[in-house]
Homo-oligomer: A and B are copies of this chain.
Amino acid sequence: MKNFYFSFDEDDIKYKKVAIHLKAMINNHELIHGEKLPTIREYSKLLGVNTSTIINAYELLQNEGYAYKKMGSGTYVKKEEQKNYILKEYSNTYKKLTRGNLENFIDFTGETTSSEFFPVDTFKKVLNEVLDRDKEDAFIYQDALGYKGLRKSINKHFWNNKMEIDDILVVSGAQQGIDIITKAIINVNDNVVIEKPSYSGAMNVFKWRKANIIEIDMKKDGIQVEELEKILQKNRIKCFYTMPYFQNPTGVTYSFEKKKRILELAEIYDFYIIEDDYLSDISYDNRVEFKSLKSMDTKDRVIYIKSFSKIFLPGIRIGYVIPPQKYSDKIQTFKINTDITTSSLMQRALDIYIRKGLWKQHIKNLNLEYKKRYEFLIKECNNLLKDKVQIYDTYGGLSLFLKIQRKDVNCIKLFEYCKDNNVLITPGMLYYLNSDDGMQYFKIGFSKVDTKAIHQGLMVINNLLKESE
């Protein structure tokens, strides 16, 4: 139990003394940003003072920027520097990890498939095939749209030849897709709707573009559509950024009805949908039939983005975009202005890889392997963390987004504790516009951990969460 208790001297102004005591705890890091303070009733009882003393003390803390109130929930510690410190610490630890400086860490931050599944030998053969076949041509600047052969393969393999190959724009990964689409269609102060929570890499791009970002809560079958309608009735919306399958971070998959309704709304209220298909390939439920918004889109409202890096070879840096006719030229121009063109050799190799059916086989293998890990993770969470976290079954993707049930542990505390025990998780605050909203959440990515590591990692998390309050 934290040391909230102290005794008063005779001439103390009581509410001030309470505030001073709490401020000392905050400055000593005994209390951290986002942590809940005792309720007024509890604390007044503990100190033997009137409730008004605590009320006044909390108000003082609020005025001095040490606390904030959540309606109907209580008062929480606010310490912006501390929050920024955590963000920096997360990013530094993550950097160390990717540089291979933290070899004994259990890495729950993985967003891409594990290198053990990389089809290196096959891809090497394919690369050499390209070099022998195309020689110099493998290195020339490609058509700004991307290598024609690859666009043909994408159209055939992923779209049953229903697209025009000139509608497909090859990009250097999905992040670049988001970047150039933002440049092409979003202006300063434009309204952009995103899911709450959402992918920070996209939020950063919209923020940087100085767009006005509006979050809509995610439910178990997609965003609250009524909420979207309300917003549309009052505001001019430029676009809606969504990940309809295994949404990052929640893992939620949209229902068919919601997708249909959102497409209708896009037409009625004249906005565009940026569909980030970042991981639909990794699905553990055979009954789920994949149906992208783009494939349902009869009114040319969807800007589709596909990443190949996350599920294939992260280092390959290839993805593609299918924009609506209206924005086709503009998006292509911004692609040229951003990096001219995407690696030519890699495009040619990926083309052969897809055409030979190797891609399909690779995805099949991944699904088998990751299904095992997913099922193990769900089982272990239910064994170890039941009642300590809220678990949501995703039936796909490479991560779980969990809610910490205990009010006195937030994601910062969990992050710090895990790090001290050689485990790296992603704090939920990263996925919210206002990081306070994500204080009780954290993400467990299982793409880079085997079952043994999953078990060990969850044990560490359990150690913190099981401690008596």
Complex Cα spacing A118 to B141, Å: 12
Contact B338 A317 (CB under 8 A): no
A172-B172 in contact (CB<8A)? yes
- Cβ-defined contact, A339 with B172, below 8 A: yes
Check A95–B143 contact: CB distance below 8 A: yes
Pair B314/A140 contact, Cβ less than 8 Å: yes
Q: From B112, B140, B205, B314, give the contact of A315 (CB < 8 A).
A: B140
Residues of B within 8 A of A120 (CB): 131, 135-136, 138-139
Contact with B along A328-360 (1 / 0, CB 8 A): 000001101111111111100000000000000
Q: Is A99 an interface residue (CB 8 A)?
A: yes
- Does A179 make an interface contact (CB < 8 A)? yes
Q: Which of A95, A173, A205, A339 has the most CB of B within 10 A?
A: A339
Contacting residue for A343 out of B98, B140, B143, B343, CB 8 A: B343
**Interface residues of A, CB < 8 Å — how many?**
55
CB-based nearest B residue for A91: B333
What is the minimal beta-carbon distance from A330 to any residue of chain B, in angstroms?
Answer: 11
| Contact indicator A98/B128 (Cβ below 8 Å) | no
A283-312 vs B: 1/0 string, CB under 8 Å?
000000000000000000000000001000
User: For the complex, is A248 an interface residue (Cβ under 8 Å from B)?
Assistant: no
Interface residues as binary, A80-98 with B (CB distance below 8 Å gives 1, 0 otherwise): 0000000000000001001
Verify B141–A98 contact, CB threshold 8 A. Answer: yes
* Bound complex: CA A84 to CA B326 (Å): 19
A124-B131, A315-B345, A345-B315 as given contacts; A175 in contact with B340, CB under 8 Å? yes
Q: Is A27 an interface residue (CB 8 A)?
A: no
B337-A317 in contact (CB<8A) = no
